[in-house]
Structure 1
Amino acid sequence: MSIIQEFKEFAVKGNMMDMAIGVIIGGAFGKIIDSLVKDIIMPLITVITGGGVDFTQKFFVLGDNPNNLTSLDELTKAGVNVLTYGNFITIFLNFLILAWVVFLLVKFLNRIRKPVEAAPAATPEDIELLREIRDELKKRQ
């Protein structure tokens, strides 16, 4: 079998196609969730908290600051060693909000998707017969 035929079999297998479709839909879904968090949820949180959600300008200067610069942009352009903990906090909060939204969405979808309850399987005849024999033996004792 040639390598091209092997690749063709690999590429058109059902699992490979399912995975490709899942990756494409996952990418689109990621953009939807990102927009939901950034464009809808974060503005609402900003209104509720009075605008104090963006921590990106919080930092510590770790080295010498000879020009007494106060802006993060000025400090990074000047090459001053800066610990930017605020950016991490902002990204971490966005992650928590994103994770919460995805959790609620999955929970909602699971509630919509009713599980199909299968009817209990019929008991085989031999088991029924054995149960009847057991019950008769119990009555005789």
Structure 2
Amino acid sequence: MSIMKEFREFAIKGNMIDLAIGVIIGGAFGKIVDSLVKDIFMPLISVITGGGVDFTQKFIVLGQNPNNLQSLAELQKAGINVLSYGNFITIFINFIILAFVVFMMVRLINKMRRKEEAAPAKPAPTPEDIQLLREIRDELKRKDA
């Protein structure tokens, strides 16, 4: 089988299309969660912690700072070694929220599946020939009794 033919079968089966759709939706969902963290949660956390806290501007200078630069952007532009832990905190909070939302979605889907499995299936109607045989059996039992 040629490589092109194999690739066409792979693409047409839907696995690749499903994966592509998942990646696109995941990227968009990631942007929504990023905005949720940056625009809603971080300002609330800032208010709770006393206001004015911007985690992305939290850093530790690891090298010499001869010009006594104070902002993260200035330090990085000057090439001074900086441990910017605030950005990590923001991304970590982002991850926790995203993981929680995915967990809640999976939980909801599992709950819906359990309801479908728990619902008793209606018994299939008895075929006409079986019903007729049962009636004959019952009639024979009555005659013998």
TM class, shorter-length: 0.5 to 0.7
Match of 2:107 in 1: 107
TM-score, normalised to structure 2, is: 0.59
Q: Distance in 2 between matches of 1:101 and 1:50?
A: 28
The alpha-carbon distance between structure 1 residues 89 and 37, as it changes in their structure 2 partners (threshold 3 A), is: closer
Contact 1:60-1:84 within 8 A present in 2 as well: yes
Q: Distance in 2 between matches of 1:82 and 1:110?
A: 45
The alpha-carbon distance between structure 1 residues 30 and 91, as it changes in their structure 2 partners (threshold 3 A), is: closer
TM-score, normalised to structure 1, is: 0.60
Q: Distance in 2 between matches of 1:14 and 1:73?
A: 45
Match of 1:97 in 2: 97
RMSD over aligned CA atoms reads 3.3
3-state SS of paired residue (2:18): helix
Displacement, 1:66? Answer: 1.5
Contact 2:11-2:17 within 8 A present in 1 as well: yes
Aligned residues: 122
Contact 1:59-1:82 within 8 A present in 2 as well: yes
Match of 1:69 in 2: 69
Read off the aligned partner of 2:94 and give its amino acid letter.
N
Q: Which runs of 4+ in 1 moved over 6 A?
A: none
3-state SS of paired residue (2:65): coil
Gapped regions of structure 2 (runs ≥ 5): 124-145
Q: What do the CA deviations read for 1:10-42 (whole angstroms, capped 9, x no partner)?
A: 221243333333333333333344344444444
Gapped regions of structure 1 (runs ≥ 5): 123-141
3-state SS of paired residue (2:9): helix
Percent of aligned pairs with the same residue?
73
Contact 2:58-2:87 within 8 A present in 1 as well: yes
Q: Distance in 2 between matches of 1:44 and 1:18?
A: 37
Q: What do the CA deviations read for 1:58-81 (whole angstroms, capped 9, x no partner)?
A: 222222222222222222222222
The alpha-carbon distance between structure 1 residues 12 and 78, as it changes in their structure 2 partners (threshold 3 A), is: same
Displacement, 1:45? Answer: 4.0
